[in-house]
Amino acid sequence: HRDIMKICGACVRELPDDSYSVEQRGLRQSLRRCVECISSGNQLVLMKKGRTRSEEDDCPICQLPLPLDFKQWMFKACCMRKVCNGCILASQRRGMRDCPFCRTATPKTHNQLLSMIRKRADAGDPVAIWHLGAKYNSGDHGLEKDTTRAVELFERAAELGVKEAHYNLGVLHARGTGVEKDTAKESGITRRPR
């Protein structure tokens, strides 16, 4: 038995077979603990691998993960970044009213805001393309609602890897809004790897 080596699921060491009780020897690695770990109370190492949040889900200033509650952060159209309310508040307390990330002056009119978004979209910014599509989809900021244009922009942004664009396209296909209702296409879009 001494020749057989098994990995302990708690201390993650490769140990000889006799380092495990008879009961523990038969268990798979994710459940197996050596005698030493059992006696000292070491718990199994769980979730060694898992999903991680992408960089775009972190505040670009403090580098902390953005809260899931969208009321806890703001989307800044000037730089196409999500900034947490804590960083926005900290910059306001220092007397700064511009964007805390890129220092661009906050747009005062819908036309200024749309101009910022269009400029970035024309430069090929994938998030700006998606954001402009969202504005066309909802008819926000003085734009006339144009679902066909929104779908074009969402498709372009989705090709460039914007996960929100995949979601928006999936919703439009599920509802048949501006596109043919297609549940197969909807599930393919929303489940596509990102």
Per-residue pLDDT, averaged over 121-127, amounts to 95
> CATH assignment of 51-104?
3.30.40.10
**Half-sphere exposure in the Cβ direction for 98 (13 Å, CA):** 7
pLDDT digits (tens, 9 = 90+) for 133-149: 999 999 888 889 999 99
Predicted confidence at residue 44, as pLDDT, reads 78
User: Rounded distance, CA 132 to CA 165, Å?
Assistant: 11
Q: Do residues 4 and 17 lie in contact, with contact meaning Cβ atoms separated by under 8 Å?
A: yes
Whether the per-residue pLDDT at 49 is higher than 80: the answer is: no
| DSSP bridge partners of 83 | 74
CATH entry, 107-194, from 3.40.50.970, 1.25.40.10, 3.40.80.10, 1.10.443.10? 1.25.40.10
Whether the per-residue pLDDT at 173 is higher than 90: the answer is: no
Whether the per-residue pLDDT at 160 is higher than 70: the answer is: yes
Predicted confidence at residue 131, as pLDDT, reads 94
Per-residue pLDDT, averaged over 63-70, amounts to 90
User: Rounded distance, CA 139 to CA 147, Å?
Assistant: 9
Predicted confidence at residue 193, as pLDDT, reads 46
Candidate from 7-21, 45-59, 70-84 with smallest mean pLDDT: 45-59
Label residue 188 by pLDDT band (50, 70, 90).
Answer: low
Predicted confidence at residue 118, as pLDDT, reads 94
User: Rounded distance, CA 165 to CA 134, Å?
Assistant: 9
pTM score, whole prediction? 0.65
Domain-by-domain residue ranges, the chain? 5-40, 51-104, 107-194
Q: Chain-wide mean pLDDT for the chain?
A: 85
User: Rounded distance, CA 110 to CA 27, Å?
Assistant: 63
Can you list the positions of beta strands (E) in 86-134? Answer: none
What percentage of the chain carries pLDDT values higher than 70?
Answer: 85
Say which residues have a Cβ less than 8 Å from residue 57's Cβ, sequence separation at least 6: 65, 66, 82
User: Rounded distance, CA 39 to CA 113, Å?
Assistant: 64
